[in-house]
């Protein structure tokens, strides 16, 4: 039976990607004989991975049975962690989001406390959206760059992604709690995946995704695939030096939301902006969002601040655009989403600094996916990893990824070391008031 695995993998991925939707198409595209295709489809049907109950459109004669991927057989749990909010969702095996919830959160609380909250929301979401075979994978989007290791396979240790989370066994805790493989990617990477598969990037081969917030990062799509680089650090443009008004600093510090807030406060205090001064008098503070709103109302000082930010971002993006020649540049983040001025400034800088061929058919737009992009993208990360041929062939005969030998080993290893873990059986130990271990 071992020899069946490669053909099962090939056929399942043809069905999953909808490259083939009938037995005839599968025979044609796979170069496998009719008897082999029939046999493998029976196996995949018995494993619950494909469904042949639906009839397709007839082209004369009998209507063909459609071969569909059983995307609802199991669920993928997804979450986004950012500095001020968490998002949690349930997706099907094709990476389509079935439900999502976002709430305010503070990423500086002890990691164990936030992981408890994530787990509680995961369980709540699963209760609302139960899948026949439970959960098959868990995928997280986190603020910082995530060091890449054995790509495609699941994580067996928690990679570094934020200083405050260093030493906390996030991957181990979630694997133990949910019994499934775990993946972690940076928010820029997951949002790029989301935009590519469910947003403006659908069907694009070459795309640049720029996330603007406190930090500024780029996601790079080449030949329809997310390009992660040697260490998972591709697109970290925020640390590039830029110069503005005689000052030089990193793009993050010179154009990110901290700069917008700082300059907005300055404009309120030194009389450049009446609008911001008024907000400051009433609320006692100025946030980046208020500078954006003031700019949208036409406040000249706020417009100037955003134009400066947009031009600096545009200069760096133009360099990337000239190196990659993308079809599409998508800007994302709340600053871009609530304001036209920054988008316009980026466009101006990119068009002004690029080779005519680079900008001939280039579109520069803003994302319409909000924080959903991260969840949708995290789901795609898990679904692509679960069904990557090298990974799939190790579990397809058993019908569920938990049976993958390396994953089973990892769980066994976690189980052996389980005693010191203060997880679910002792709820008070991981309660909200607990201090992190020193």
Can you give the binding site for another protein, defined by CB under 8 A?
A: 80, 85, 87, 96-104, 117, 120-121, 124, 128-129, 198-199, 289, 296, 334, 337-338, 340, 368-372, 431-433
Q: Taking the complex as a whole, how short is the minimal distance between the CB of residue 433 and another protein, in angstroms?
A: 8
Q: How many residues does the chain have?
A: 438
Nearest residue (CB) to another protein, 74 versus 121? 121
Q: Taking the complex as a whole, how short is the minimal distance between the CB of residue 23 and another protein, in angstroms?
A: 28
Nearest residue (CB) to another protein, 45 versus 370? 370
Q: Do 128 and 65 meet the contact criterion of CB atoms below 8 Å apart?
A: no
Q: Taking the complex as a whole, how short is the minimal distance between the CB of residue 128 and another protein, in angstroms?
A: 6
Residue 58, exposed/middle/buried by CB under 10 A (0-12, 13-18, 19+)? exposed
Q: How far apart are CA 96 and CA 415, in angstroms?
A: 32
Nearest residue (CB) to another protein, 95 versus 314? 95
Q: Taking the complex as a whole, how short is the minimal distance between the CB of residue 368 and another protein, in angstroms?
A: 4
Nearest residue (CB) to another protein, 124 versus 408? 124
Nearest residue (CB) to another protein, 36 versus 85? 85
Q: Do 172 and 414 meet the contact criterion of CB atoms below 8 Å apart?
A: yes
Helix axes 300-324, 340-353, angle to 10 degrees: 40
Q: Taking the complex as a whole, how short is the minimal distance between the CB of residue 287 and another protein, in angstroms?
A: 10
Q: Taking the complex as a whole, how short is the minimal distance between the CB of residue 432 and another protein, in angstroms?
A: 6
Residue 1, CA atoms < 13 Å, CB-side half-sphere: 7
Nearest residue (CB) to another protein, 22 versus 334? 334
State both tokens at 166.
Answer: 């260093």
For residue 394, what are the contacts with CB-CB under 8 A and spacing of at least 6? 404, 405, 406
Q: Taking the complex as a whole, how short is the minimal distance between the CB of residue 202 and another protein, in angstroms?
A: 11
Residue 211, exposed/middle/buried by CB under 10 A (0-12, 13-18, 19+)? buried
Q: How far apart are CA 71 and CA 90, in angstroms?
A: 12
Q: How far apart are CA 419 and CA 423, in angstroms?
A: 10
Nearest residue (CB) to another protein, 101 versus 411? 101
Q: How far apart are CA 252 and CA 319, in angstroms?
A: 16
């Amino acid at each position: 039976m071992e020899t069946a695995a490669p053909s099962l993998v090939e056929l399942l991925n043809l069905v999953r990607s909808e490259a083939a939707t009938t037995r005839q198409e599968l025979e044609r595209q796979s170069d496998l004989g009719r008897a082999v295709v029939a046999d493998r489809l029976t196996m995949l049907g018995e494993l619950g991975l494909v469904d042949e109950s639906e009839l397709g459109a007839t082209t004369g004669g009998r209507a063909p049975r459609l071969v569909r991927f059983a995307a609802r057989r199991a669920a993928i749990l997804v979450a986004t962690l950012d500095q001020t909010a968490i998002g949690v969702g349930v997706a099907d095996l094709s990476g389509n989001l079935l439900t999502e919830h976002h709430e305010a959160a503070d990423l500086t609380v002890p990691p164990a406390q936030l992981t408890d909250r994530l787990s509680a929301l995961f369980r709540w979401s699963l209760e609302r959206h139960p899948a026949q075979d439970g959960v098959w994978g868990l995928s997280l989007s986190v603020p910082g760059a995530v060091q890449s290791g054995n790509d495609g396979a699941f994580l067996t240790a928690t990679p570094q992604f934020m200083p405050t989370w260093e030493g906390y066994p996030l991957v181990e805790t979630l694997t133990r709690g949910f019994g499934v493989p775990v993946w972690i990617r940076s928010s820029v990477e997951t949002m790029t995946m989301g935009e590519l598969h469910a947003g403006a990037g659908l069907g694009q081969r070459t795309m640049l995704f720029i996330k603007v917030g406190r930090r500024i990062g780029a996601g790079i799509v080449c030949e329809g695939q997310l390009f992660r680089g040697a260490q998972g650090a591709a697109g970290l443009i925020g640390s590039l030096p830029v110069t503005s008004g005689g000052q030089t600093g990193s793009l993050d510090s010179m154009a990110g939301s901290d700069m917008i807030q700082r300059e907005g406060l300055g404009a309120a205090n030194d009389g450049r902006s009446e609008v911001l001064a008024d907000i400051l008098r009433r609320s006692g503070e100025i946030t980046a969002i208020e500078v954006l709103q003031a700019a949208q109302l036409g406040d000249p000082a706020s417009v100037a601040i955003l134009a400066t930010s947009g031009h600096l971002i545009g200069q760096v993006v133009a360099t990337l655009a000239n190196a990659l020649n993308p079809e599409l540049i998508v800007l994302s983040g709340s600053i871009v989403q609530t304001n036209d001025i920054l988008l316009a400034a980026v466009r101006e800088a990119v068009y002004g600094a690029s080779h005519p061929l680079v900008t001939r058919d280039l579109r520069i737009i803003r994302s319409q996916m909000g924080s959903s992009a991260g969840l949708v993208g995290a789901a795609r990360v898990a679904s692509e990893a679960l069904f990557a041929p090298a990974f799939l062939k190790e579990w397809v005969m058993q019908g569920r990824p938990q049976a993958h030998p390396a994953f089973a080993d990892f769980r066994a290893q976690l189980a052996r070391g389980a005693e010191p873990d203060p997880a679910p059986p002792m709820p008070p130990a991981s309660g909200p008031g607990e201090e992190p271990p020193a």
